[in-house]
Amino acid sequence: MATINIFTDNLYKNWAIDEKDVIEKTRKMLGFYIQTLGEKSCLAGEDYDTISLDIVFCDSVKTQELNRDYRNKDYPADIITFAIFADDENSFVFDGEINLGEIVIALDKVIEGANRDISNSKNKEQELFFLISHGLMHLLGFDHQTEEEYNFVIQEQKLALGSINYEQI
């Protein structure tokens, strides 16, 4: 199994994220995806020893700026991914390392999403890991432009969340 390096940065001051826990659980989910989807992902056929990615926590003002500046969409998002390895045909493995890219999550939107859940079945941590699992799928090259692709992504997310004992999501 490859070494998985995950770097986090919390720019959102209203939620003191347990970054060590986030890194540990994200590493487990990514390991799960590599094991189950590796040959279907952007990693297929690649020779690597290390995978790295970044997770940035911010607010929806920042995701709106990123959406506007990089995606020509002027609205706040709960998550934005910059899938470097999956989206760039010139991506390469450097010294045995693959940089998958970056996941940017608006924590105020995570809190809103958890509060909006009328069944109260999700708390903000579960909502957060749901979004991280979704971002990982994008970094690995999976999209959801069709209903079939969407269903596939959601099903895989449920399995990955089960790997960190969040299967009730």
The pTM (predicted TM-score) of the whole model is 0.93
Q: Is residue 66 part of a domain?
A: yes
* pLDDT, tens digit, 9 for 90 and up, residues 113-155: 888 765 556 789 999 999 999 999 999 999 999 999 999 999 9
Count of CB atoms within 10 A of residue 158's CB?
Answer: 15
* pLDDT, tens digit, 9 for 90 and up, residues 63-109: 999 999 999 999 999 999 999 998 877 778 999 999 999 999 999 99
Q: Is residue 169 part of a domain?
A: no
Residue 118 confidence (pLDDT): 57
Q: Is residue 78 part of a domain?
A: yes
Token match 């997310």: residue?
157
CATH of the domain at 21: 3.40.390.30
Residue 43 confidence (pLDDT): 95
For 90-99, letters b (16+ CB in 10 Å) and e give ebebeeeebb
Structurally, the chain folds into a number of domains equal to 1
Distance CA 9, CA 56 (A): 5
Residue 169 confidence (pLDDT): 45
Q: Is residue 167 part of a domain?
A: no
Distance CA 168, CA 162 (A): 8
